[in-house]
Amino acid sequence: MSLNIFMLDKNIVSLIQSKNDGKTKTKDQIEMLQLLKRHDKSIYRFSSLSSAIEGRKKQKESKIESINTVDYETQILKSFFKKAKTDAHILKSNESNFSEVFSQYNVLHNQEKYKSVLKKYYELREKYVEKGSIPLNKKEAFSFELLEYIEAQDIAKENPIISIIFLAINQIIDNKYIDNPCNVLKLKKGKSLDENIHNIYSDLSIPNLISRLEFEGKGDIKITFLTLDKALSSYMEIFKFNYISEIKKNTGYLKLHQVEVEIQSKLIRSFFKNLFENWEASKNNSHSISSTKPSNKTE
């Protein structure tokens, strides 16, 4: 029998923490609290892991800070759930210690490179944006300039953390999703760019995190992600990771080439096929022009 795990976004942890603060709750918040209560049974486990990875400092936390965050958020969950298990049942067990458990959740060892791509996107957006949006005749140039930067970083352009950026640049929207997933890239007021990027990266890495944990569970666990963020929910529906090789023992990470990314939307699959084909054609054309350019060199 598989273990059913509900992974909670930070807004769910905050909702649980504030359930008795006397403030009026929205319809979505009330329904979420009711769902959580209905599943407060011993057959379920609730995890704040994705929230803990984001941390409480709006930046990547140290090991000690992460331990404190996990303990803090676990206490919040334990005060709410009476029967369901929480992360405490793993982290406090005699069979595993914090280092062994938490080290597996650093989803991408190229984290800083992916964050640098996000930062480059926001910088380039200032260059290309006109009246709040990217003009049609500049979308390809914007995309190609960012692709050039991505390839220089030697990271996979197919990763959803990257893919969502190109959907935003080109304003590709599949109306079958409840909300525009590109809204996950919106910067929040009152936070610095680096703080925003850290929070956005933490959200964008969740599909990878969940797929990896399910893969490591070898079919024995099923994870459902809960969030009040509709844009994040839509993003989660678009991309699916399929791990295609075993993780070598005692290694901390899987490289992306060991993973297949499946795009659930036909519209979005077609967009990326055309984008990457045009990008390769552009590079080949540039190389051809460069190689045939007359030389000014004299003998």
Half-sphere exposure of 58 (CA within 13 A, CB side): 9
Query: In 81-224, which ranges are continuous DSSP H helix?
Result: 88-91, 98-102, 111-128, 139-153, 160-170, 193-204, 206-216
Distance CA 11, CA 65 (A): 20
What is the C-alpha separation between 299 and 294, in angstroms, rounded? 14
Split the chain (299 residues) into runs of 10 and give each run's mean pLDDT.
86 90 88 96 89 75 76 87 80 46 51 94 96 94 97 91 96 92 95 93 88 75 92 92 59 53 91 96 75 51
Bridge partners of residue 178, in order along the sequence: none
- DSSP symbol at 60: P
The alpha-carbon radius of gyration of the chain (Å, integer) is 22
pLDDT of residue 286: 73
Structure tokens at 273: 């096929």
3-state helix, strand, coil in the chain (%, to 5): 55, 10, 35
Under DSSP, the state recorded for 24 is P
Distance between CA atoms of residues 241 and 212, nearest Å: 8
| Calpha distance 280→283 (Å, rounded) | 5
Q: Which of 291, 292, 209, 294 is nearest to 243 (CA)?
A: 209
Query: Facing residues of 150 across strands?
Result: none
**Which residues have a Cβ under 8 Å from the Cβ of 196 and sit 6 or more positions away?**
187, 188
